[in-house]
Structure 1
Amino acid sequence: MEPMEPPAPVAAEHVTAFRHFNRYFTRRIGVLDDHYLGQDRPLGEARLLFEIGDGASLRELRSRLGLDAGYLSRMAKALEAQGMVRLSAHPRDNRLRMIEPTRAGRVELTEQNRRAGAVVAGLLEGLTPPQRAELTRAMATAQRLLRLAGITVDLVDGATRDALACLDAYADDIDERFPEGFDKGDLVRPHEVSGEAGAFFVAYEEGRPVGCGALRRLEPGVGEIRHVWVHRDARRLGLARRLLDALEREASARDFTVVRLDTHAALKEAQAMYRACGYREIPAYDDNVYASHWFEKRLDR
């Protein structure tokens, strides 16, 4: 089996533009200042104080912020020494370290939020209301695309814990959406979407599975795409198309010239995506009781 085609190379001008914007924005909001927002701490400690909220475990914060354990521990101890937080063991698990704000920490965070809001308001004052709305829309687009860029789509064995968890979540999701419900017994079997028989992809965002898609062999030269699913928290990013593209490239690598799929009448958005991605509706090719639309796409070699 040939390896999947790598993604298109990133143009140098796109890299340059991204770095230029990053340098400009971080300078304008004072990220490089050791006294972020005029308070007596750098951005890292200020952000940690914000993320702690009413209290959290260091393990949770490390996962959420993607920080090295040692670096997080040093920042937590610095905030503790300043009287901003208190560290303690979890009441039911001594291995778990908890961190919560003190009264002084809550006062500090309130002031931090006030100053941050004032900085943003000051930046936006120079724009007209339509320009502010335009900027807000542009930032929403940038956040959506950056989230999508940060998600990886990995080929995994269909029997892995993440693959099975995604299938389980998919089944629960469509069981709510289908008027007749859904029987988990109708999910693909791990051996059908692993090794020579097929493929299974899991989408990860910051280490958390947020989507999946399966490919299995129907007959010589023909593959079937199954169970394309995106977690509700990761929808409207374009991730379903990423998954579909990965499945199609894998099908091409396996010398499939055609891929087919079916979908339920209730999944209007899925039908629209398949049509937009070059799939044409065909007569029923299987007896799937949940299907009301069947699609096919010929793959470019």
Structure 2
Amino acid sequence: MKDASPGSGQFTITPEPIDGADSRAALEQYVGELARLFPAGFDPGRAAPPEPGDFTPPRGYFLLVRDAAGEARGCGAVRVAEGGFAEIRRMWISPALRGQGAGRALLADLELHASKLGCEVVRLDTAAELRAARSLYASAGYVEIPAYNDNEYARHWFEKSLV
């Protein structure tokens, strides 16, 4: 278990099976929040859905963020995409942990796992409504690039070199 907030014990980030109960609960919260934020709702099946096994080694990882009480409060996934780059998907932090560095720590851990997968470049996309996410990505060294996928919810695509 990795303490993502050294000395504070506020949260931990660990790789976990995407089909585990806590992982499914975190993903349900993620989908629910996007459904409330997006004017026309959110259907994860229309957002460049993953293939079975995409977030399982050796093709990828699913990470779960837990608060100090052990409750699932965030998640994110990384997979090797066609073309050999890593792609970050389903990154979400509960409002209960926002502003405490959990998003930045999760992003850094996803990048570390992308490197473990042998990738030198990582990409991600995000929706126009997710301004805080775009700010986080920019501050972490991501640069905006042309669309690389057909995710109908995405309006911004980013890339970062890991080397």
TM-score using structure 1 length: 0.49
| From 97, 100, 103, the counterpart of 1:237 | 100
Instruction: Measure, in 2, the Cα distance between the counterparts of 1:256 and 1:220.
Output: 10
RMSD, aligned CA: 1.9
Instruction: Measure, in 1, the Cα distance between the counterparts of 2:50 and 2:132.
Output: 22
Residue 55 of structure 2 is aligned to residue 201 of structure 1: no
User: Which residue of structure 1 aligns with residue 28 of structure 2?
Assistant: 168
Instruction: Measure, in 2, the Cα distance between the counterparts of 1:290 and 1:238.
Output: 26
| Structure with greater strand percent | 2
Q: Does the aligned pair in 2 maintain the 1:158–1:190 contact within 8 Å?
A: no
Higher RCO, 1 vs 2 (CA within 8 Å, ≥6 residues apart): 2
TM-score using structure 2 length: 0.89
| Matched letter for residue 178 of structure 1 | F
User: Which residue of structure 1 aligns with residue 12 of structure 2?
Assistant: 152
Structure 1 residues 215 and 238, CA gap change in structure 2 (3 angstroms)? same
What secondary structure sits across from 1:158 in the alignment? coil
Divergent runs of 4+, >2 A: 184-191
| Matched letter for residue 151 of structure 1 | F
Instruction: Measure, in 2, the Cα distance between the counterparts of 1:159 and 1:196.
Output: 16
Deviation at 1:220, TM superposition (A): 4.9
Instruction: Measure, in 2, the Cα distance between the counterparts of 1:193 and 1:224.
Output: 10
Aligned residues: 157
After superposition, the C-alpha distances for 1:218-267 in whole angstroms (9 at most, x for unaligned) are 13531100111011111111100111001000111111010000000011
Q: Does the aligned pair in 2 maintain the 1:263–1:291 contact within 8 Å?
A: yes
Q: Does the aligned pair in 2 maintain the 1:157–1:190 contact within 8 Å?
A: no
Q: Does the aligned pair in 1 maintain the 2:80–2:117 contact within 8 Å?
A: no
| Matched letter for residue 273 of structure 1 | L
| From 251, 263, 267, the counterpart of 2:130 | 267
Q: Which runs of 5+ in 1 are unaligned?
A: 1-5, 11-144
